[in-house]
Amino acid sequence: MSEMLIELGGIWKTYDTGEVAVDALRGIDLVVERGEYVAIMGPSGSGKSTLMHILGCLDSPTKGSYRLDGEEVGHRSAGRLAVVRNRFIGFVFQNYNLLPRASLLRNVELPLLYGGLERERRRIRAQQMLDQVGLGDRGKSRPNQLSGGQRQRAAIARALVTEPALLLADEPTGNLDQATGGEVMDIFDALNGCGQTVIVVTHDPQVAAHAHRIVRIVDGKIAHDQETRAA
Amino acid sequence: MNLLEVIADGFADVRTHAGRTALQTLGVVLGVASVVGTMGLMAGERQQSLRYYTESGGVLKVMVWPKTVENVRSSAREMASRGLTLDDVEAVRASIPGFDLVEPKIGRTLLVRSARASKSYYITGVAPAYADLHELQVERGRFVSQDDVATAGTVCVLGADRAREFFGSEDPVGQNLRLSDHLFRVAGVLRYREFYWNRSDSYNALGWMNEVIVVPVTTMQVRVVGAGSRRIDEIGLRLASVKTHDASVPALQRLLTNRHRADDFQVYDRQDRIQQMNQQGKVYDFTFLACGIISLVVGGIVVANIMLASFTERMREVGVRKALGAKGWHVFVQFLVESAIVTGLGGAVGLGVGVGFVHGIAYLLDQTAVLTPAMIAAAGLCAGSVSVIFGLYPAVKAARLDPVVALRYE
Ligand SMILES: Nc1ncnc2c1ncn2[C@@H]1O[C@H](COP(=O)(O)OP(=O)(O)OP(=O)(O)O)[C@@H](O)[C@H]1O
Ligand SMILES: [Mg+2]
């Protein structure tokens, strides 16, 4: 097991929109160690989400290398990237992205299904995760029967159910009020306290303040990279 | 096994949007039902025609009738036509191969009398082969024999209705019947025959078989028409086989034209009729099948459309699933389970509705419904492949979807 969880070297991402090619990322070098708590900040359109997608293996860089847990994953096939996402990465989105028609339990179970875990163990594990985020008794509920904060907690449970090495969150508090957003960040803090690597994309300095390191992106490049607290 | 789990997940997913699935299923139901329906109705129609032709003498029957010449523009020769003669019969027998029966018929309307009734009827003078030619079946006694013809015997054979008319419930065989001035002995009675095109149809297409009074052709010639006459009213021929048709029938036409040097006869050829019927049938079949297939395609498009609509609705969902680690085939199977359910359910219900439709229409129109397992299988297969094709497209599209694009989708 490598100490370095993430090693990005010279990452470029170019969107070819036909007429103009947009360079969303222009040479990103970034190393994240295991157990770090990183906030990625930057103005709108600076490339934060694009970076998130590459870190989360949802997308491949146009140029550059990405080593995740010591293995090059930057240019793998879609099928193999799906496996990497399933094993190594948990996503938390601004708008929760829970499957609207499925119960919470089924939502949380889903990554385990794709991971090939058998039904009984899936159930038990998913229930455990719901218990951990305080939604143990809401397993049968549909997402639309929950408050925003509850939904985001369910989404966190789903992100962590496979015990991923990396938790990626894109504006996780963007749709929440201050108090519930704070609760969500408290969960992240606690997770990181137990050694979970967390990367949060955010506009909000209050959210970023929870992290131990802030990476600022401007125009597809890292402008600042600063430890704010000793890990 | 993971595949089963994924399929199960697909099922669970379908259950969560039963309304949409029901709509899609309806599309397939309509498509399959219309294919089965049209095929069934067409086949029923055709089978009824074929049955009629076999019951009344089959496809090998060829008839020659004199044509009444009354056109003012007719040639003098046609005006002077002597019609068909026994010499024509001999000539055909002598020079045209390919017919196993060539028989003359002479008919006259005569007063028929028994103890019970007295009425004028058309009496048919024929050879023994007449029964074979028209599939006449003898109920009691016998038909006109070769011997009767040789001796110009005064015997007759009655259709079932005539037997009842002149003899009531008594057995006519062996009894006497007076035709004009001559006393005839009843040699046999024909079996009662019927064929209705529709169940509510009152016209019995084989009714004439119940109404005939048959005597030997020679008797008719000698005792009624006058021994010197060679004129006949009809030549009935039977082809030795279907294969000889194309050579023999035109040869017959040519021979008679040459002998008469006038257009004073007409050949009625069932082969032609049946070919024509088949041809027409093909056109109908094609039209109806095309309609069926169009409705099936429309059904398929409905399926594909709803699939695609749900697809855009579910674009985000596909993105989320992929973010959670779903591979292409997971998504593919999930979509395919849906279209398989739609196809299976819709196909089964559609077959049921189609079969019901055929029987319903057949009942309303008094037609015979014909549905063979092969037709049902064909319709099922058709429906299956159409909806698999239309279901496959969205499934492949979803499976290939770029997760980032899917997640960004609003
Ligand atoms: N699929 C795409 N096709 C073309 N251009 C794209 C695409 N995705 C992103 N971009 C462009 O790349 C740049 C970076 O976009 P990105 O979404 O990463 O910004 P962001 O920092 O997340 O912004 P925000 O804070 O508003 O979410 C933008 O100029 C955007 O228009
Ligand atoms: Mg963004």
String of DSSP letters for A115-169: HT--HHHHHHHHHHHHHHTT-GGGTT--GGGS-HHHHHHHHHHHHHTT--SEEEE
User: Which three-class secondary structure state does DSSP give residue B179?
Assistant: strand
- Mean pLDDT over all residues of chain B? 82
Rounded CA-CA distance B383/B389 in Å is 10
* Average pLDDT rounded to a whole number, residues B18-40: 76
CA dihedral B19→B21→B23→B29, nearest 10 degrees, is -140
Q: Are B248 and B285 in a shared domain?
A: no
Rounded CA-CA distance B169/B93 in Å is 42
Q: Residue for token digits 């907690």?
A: A153
Confidence at residue B74, expressed as pLDDT on a 0 to 100 scale: 56
* Average pLDDT rounded to a whole number, residues B141-157: 93
Which residues in A lie closer than 8 A to residue B326 (C-beta atoms)?
A: 82, 110, 114
Residue B63 lies in a domain: no
Most trustworthy range by pLDDT among A17-26, A30-39, B71-80:
A30-39
Please, are residues B273 and B280 in contact by the beta-carbon 8 Å criterion? Answer: no
Confidence at residue B352, expressed as pLDDT on a 0 to 100 scale: 86
**Chain A: nearest CA to B346, how far in angstroms?**
24
Rounded CA-CA distance B151/A53 in Å is 109
What number does the ligand 1 atom closest to the CA of A203 have?
25
Question: Which of the listed residues B233, B263, B293 is the one where a domain comes to its end?
Answer: B263
- pLDDT greater at residue A136 or residue B372: A136
Q: Are B8 and B76 in a shared domain?
A: no
ipTM over 0.85: yes
Whether residue B6 has pLDDT greater than 90: no
Residue B60 lies in a domain: no
* Average pLDDT rounded to a whole number, residues B214-236: 88
Measured in whole angstroms, the distance separating CA B328 from the mean position of its chain's CA atoms is 52
Provide the residue type at B238 as one letter.
Answer: R
- Burial label for B86, CB within 10 Å (0-12, 13-18, 19+), is middle
* Of B27, B34, B37, nearest in space to B360 by CA: B37
**pLDDT per position as a tens digit, A34-85:** 999 999 999 999 999 999 999 999 999 999 999 999 999 988 999 999 999 9
Residue B296 Cα, ligand 2 centroid: separation in angstroms? 45
Please, are residues A83 and A57 in contact by the beta-carbon 8 Å criterion? Answer: no
Please, are residues B386 and B339 in contact by the beta-carbon 8 Å criterion? Answer: no
Question: Which of the listed residues B221, B240, B263 is the one where a domain comes to its end?
Answer: B263
**Chain A: nearest CA to B332, how far in angstroms?**
13
* Average pLDDT rounded to a whole number, residues B202-207: 85
Q: Are B258 and B282 in a shared domain?
A: no
- pLDDT greater at residue B301 or residue B252: B252
Which member of B319, B326, B407 has the closest CB to residue A114?
Answer: B326
Contact B407 A119 (CB under 8 A): no
Q: Are B193 and B312 in a shared domain?
A: no
* Average pLDDT rounded to a whole number, residues A110-136: 93
Domain containing residue B226: 68-263
Q: Which residues are paired to B84 by β-bridges?
A: none
Contact A113 B407 (CB under 8 A): no
Contact B327 A162 (CB under 8 A): no
- SS3 sequence, A18-52? CCCEEEEEEEEEEEEECCCEEEEECCCCCCHHHHH
What number does the ligand 1 atom closest to the CA of B404 have?
1
pLDDT band at A166 (very low <50, low <70, confident <90, very high): very high
Ligand (nearest to CA of A43): 1
Q: Are B259 and B281 in a shared domain?
A: no
Looking at A94-108, B28-42, B186-200, B279-293, which range is the least confident one?
B279-293
The side-by-side arrangement of strands in the sheet containing A4-16 is A21-33, A4-16, A63-68, A71-72
Please, are residues B105 and B217 in contact by the beta-carbon 8 Å criterion? Answer: yes
Q: Are B38 and B90 in a shared domain?
A: no
Q: Which residues are paired to B102 by β-bridges?
A: B237
Extract the tokens encoding A149.
């904060």
Extract the tokens encoding A231.
């890990």
Residue B197 lies in a domain: yes
Confidence at residue B98, expressed as pLDDT on a 0 to 100 scale: 87
Whether residue A231 has pLDDT greater than 60: no
Q: Are B166 and B92 in a shared domain?
A: yes
Whether residue B76 has pLDDT greater than 60: no
Confidence at residue B10, expressed as pLDDT on a 0 to 100 scale: 77
Q: Whose CA is nearest to atom 5 of ligand 1?
A: A15
- Burial label for B106, CB within 10 Å (0-12, 13-18, 19+), is buried
pLDDT cut 70: percent of chain A above it: 98
Rounded CA-CA distance A94/A175 in Å is 6
By the CB < 8 Å criterion, does A180 face chain B?
A: no
> Residue B52: enclosing H or E segment and its boundaries?
helix B18-55
Q: What are phi and psi of B244, to 5 degrees?
A: -80, -10
Provide the residue type at A59 as one letter.
Answer: D
A50 in contact with ligand 1, CB cutoff 6 A: yes
Q: Who contacts B215 (Cβ-Cβ below 8 Å, separation ≥6)?
A: B123, B124, B125, B126, B144, B154, B155, B156, B157, B179, B184
For chain B, what is the domain count? Answer: 2
Q: Who contacts A193 (Cβ-Cβ below 8 Å, separation ≥6)?
A: none
Q: Are B317 and B212 in a shared domain?
A: no
Q: Please give the CATH architecture assigned to the domain spanning A35-61+78-227.
A: 3-Layer(aba) Sandwich (3.40)
Q: Are B39 and B90 in a shared domain?
A: no
* Average pLDDT rounded to a whole number, residues B14-29: 77
pLDDT band at B1 (very low <50, low <70, confident <90, very high): very low
Q: Are B317 and B389 in a shared domain?
A: yes
What number does the ligand 1 atom closest to the CA of A220 have?
14
Which residues in A lie closer than 8 A to residue B16 (C-beta atoms)?
A: 101-102
Looking at B20-24, B164-168, B349-353, which range is the least confident one?
B20-24
Q: What are phi and psi of A31, to 5 degrees?
A: -120, 130
Q: Are B343 and B285 in a shared domain?
A: yes
> Residue B302: enclosing H or E segment and its boundaries?
helix B270-313
**Per-residue CA distances from B276 to B60, B109, B269, B363 (Å):** 15, 34, 11, 27
Q: Are B207 and B282 in a shared domain?
A: no
- pLDDT greater at residue B384 or residue A9: A9
Which residues in A lie closer than 8 A to residue B328 (C-beta atoms)?
A: 78-79, 82
- pLDDT greater at residue B346 or residue B76: B346
A43 in contact with ligand 1, CB cutoff 6 A: no
Residue B270 lies in a domain: no
pLDDT cut 90: percent of chain B above it: 26
Confidence at residue B339, expressed as pLDDT on a 0 to 100 scale: 76
Domain ranges of chain A: 35-61+78-227
Confidence at residue B77, expressed as pLDDT on a 0 to 100 scale: 54
A22 in contact with ligand 1, CB cutoff 6 A: yes
DSSP assigned state of B191: P
Rounded CA-CA distance B178/B158 in Å is 13
**pLDDT per position as a tens digit, B173-198:** 999 999 988 999 999 999 999 888 77
Rounded CA-CA distance B208/B205 in Å is 8
- Burial label for B97, CB within 10 Å (0-12, 13-18, 19+), is exposed
Whether residue A164 has pLDDT greater than 90: yes
DSSP assigned state of B240: S
- pLDDT greater at residue B235 or residue B61: B235
Extract the tokens encoding B399.
């499976």
Question: Which of the listed residues B263, B292, B308 is the one where a domain comes to its end?
Answer: B263
Extract the tokens encoding A197.
């690597």
Residue B196 lies in a domain: yes
* Average pLDDT rounded to a whole number, residues B340-351: 80
A220 in contact with ligand 1, CB cutoff 6 A: no
Extract the tokens encoding B142.
């016998």
Q: What are phi and psi of A208, to 5 degrees?
A: -60, -30
> Residue B74: enclosing H or E segment and its boundaries?
none
